[in-house]
Structure 1
Amino acid sequence: MSEQPARTRYLTVLEVAEIMRVSKMTVYRLLHSGELPGVRVGRSFRVPQDALDHYLATSLPIESTTADEDRRSS
């Protein structure tokens, strides 16, 4: 028997926005700029789950503003 390759799961823009807790417009901006890979299906976009996972894993974390304020006051 041959093994079937794992199938890629594709997410809608709304699903990506909910996962990232951002607006749909932010997801569209990431797609149009090429920062987040996606495929166009008709007039819609789909984002491979693997691409979203990679994007989130490689995004640089932003320090909190309280840490910046503490450094400035020292």
Structure 2
Amino acid sequence: MPPAEPRFLTLADVADVLNVTVRQVRSLLHAGELRGIQIGGRGVWRVENSELERYIERQYAKTEQALADSGLDTVDDLNA
């Protein structure tokens, strides 16, 4: 029986989750911000589901830190 979620995601899948373009996902991979693997001779990229979740958690932490550093408590404070 196959798993409920695939272990590895295509760059298009990652882009959909993050609501960004595939080009932006490639940029994250090449910058080392998002971990992925290349498979096969053509260098097809895949991102493990758990790596995507870790990236998202790091981004939340960075955002919280940036808000704290700026003296704001929430994103709503940016719009006030």
TM norm structure 1 = 0.71
Shift in Å, 1:52: 0.3
**Corresponding pairs, count:** 62
Equivalent residue number for residue 51 of structure 1 = 51
- Residue identity over aligned pairs, in percent, reads 29
Taking the TM superposition and a 5 Å limit, the aligned residue runs for 1:17-56 are 17-41=15-39, 42-56=42-56
Flag the 1:68–1:30 CA change in 2: closer, same or farther, 3 A. same
Matched with 2:70 is none
Gaps of 5+ in 2: 1-5, 68-73
Q: Give 5+ residue unaligned stretches, structure 1.
A: 1-7
Higher relative contact order (CA closer than 8 Å, sequence separation 6+): 1
CA RMSD of superposed structures (Å): 2.1
Name the larger-Rg structure: 1
Greater displacement, 35-44 / 13-22:
35-44
Shift of 1:69: 5.9
Amino acid at match of 2:49: Q
Amino acid at match of 2:25: V
After TM superposition, give the deviation of residue 40 of structure 1 in Å: 0.5
If each structure's helix is expressed as a fraction of its own residues, which one has the higher value?
2
State the Cα distance separating 1:18 from its structure 2 match: 0.2
